[in-house]
């Protein structure tokens, strides 16, 4: 069964610790207004879809404590509002791409 994201104005998706065991669907890129994606403590597996790179308003991403093996690093440079990124306790492997981010210290 496919997961459809119909709440296009959604700003926060918090599904931490819910035993979710599927991959993140490619159509998550349709959530153009999302600012927080909190999916830690699940069993999400596989690859983070490249469509996440379309979410330019997203400032907080927490995908820690899952079974993710790769992804996001290819598109992270597109997340221009990103402030917090948590990917610990996964199984990420493969190439690490050069990432150019604008960082300002306040």
Tens digit of each residue's pLDDT (9 = 90 or more) over 14-55: 999 999 999 999 999 999 999 999 999 999 999 999 999 999
User: What are the Cα distances from residue 94, in Å, to 42, 73, 74?
Assistant: 22, 10, 11
> Mean pLDDT score of the chain, rounded to an integer?
85
Backbone angles phi, psi at 21, to 5 degrees: -125, 15
Q: Where are the domains of the chain?
A: 12-86
Token pair of 28, please?
Answer: 């998550």
pTM over 0.85: no
Q: Residue 24 burial by CB count (10 A; 0-12/13-18/19+): exposed, middle or buried?
A: buried
Could you say which of 3.40.190.10, 3.80.10.10, 3.30.497.10, 3.40.50.300 is the CATH number of the domain covering 12-86?
3.80.10.10
């Amino acid at each position: 069964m496919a997961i459809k994201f119909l709440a296009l104005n959604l700003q926060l998706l918090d599904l931490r610790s819910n035993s979710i065991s599927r991959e993140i669907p490619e159509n998550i890129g349709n959530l153009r207004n999302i600012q927080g994606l909190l999916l830690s403590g699940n069993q999400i597996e596989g690859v983070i879809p490249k469509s996440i790179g379309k979410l330019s308003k997203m400032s907080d991403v927490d995908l820690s404590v899952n079974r993710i093996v790769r992804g996001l690093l290819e598109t992270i440079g597109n997340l221009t509002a990103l402030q917090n990124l948590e990917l610990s306790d996964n199984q990420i492997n493969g190439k690490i791409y050069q990432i150019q981010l604008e960082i300002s210290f306040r």
